[in-house]
Amino acid sequence: MQTTPVRWTTADLELFAGDRRNRYEIVDGELFVTKSPSWDHQSSCGKIVTVLNNWSDETGLGKAAIAPGIIFSDSDNVIPDVVWASHERLKYLLDEAGHLTGAPELVVEVLSPGEKNEKRDKETKLKLYSVQGVQEYWICDSIQKKVEVYRREQAALKLAATLFSQDELTSPL
């Protein structure tokens, strides 16, 4: 007897609405449950969003946010750690409730400890963000003090650079 795997949808997330201890994401109908991020994880996100927002304020080009939900489709609903979107793109991405419904230019994930978390960010989410049209994807590893920078090249996100704490990250965005 063969069973069909459950395909989760955005509507199913209502089942977990009262749970503040876990984060729920759906990629291609598969449910991913992770613990709420740690203090160090959120501190890293705060530093990244501060730099992005300071730059955005200077240039007037866009806005950054921490942990906004992105509802790409009924079976793809994720919560990236940090995103940046241009003002031009943002006006088309936000729904009436203020949720993102498409790909911002930049998505940043700060790795959480554990093989499953790393695989989700480096494989599952990389593929999703690539298919959805994200222009640039940064995977930050605060333990190893490095950032993997993926950039859109020929309709896919490809590793463009691996930077360490002494390096400077410059983006075409």
Question: Residue type for 60, please?
Answer: G
Judge whether residue 140 has pLDDT over 90: yes
Q: What SS3 class is residue 10?
A: helix
Q: What is the pTM of this model?
A: 0.94
Judge whether residue 1 has pLDDT over 80: no
Mean pLDDT of the chain: 94
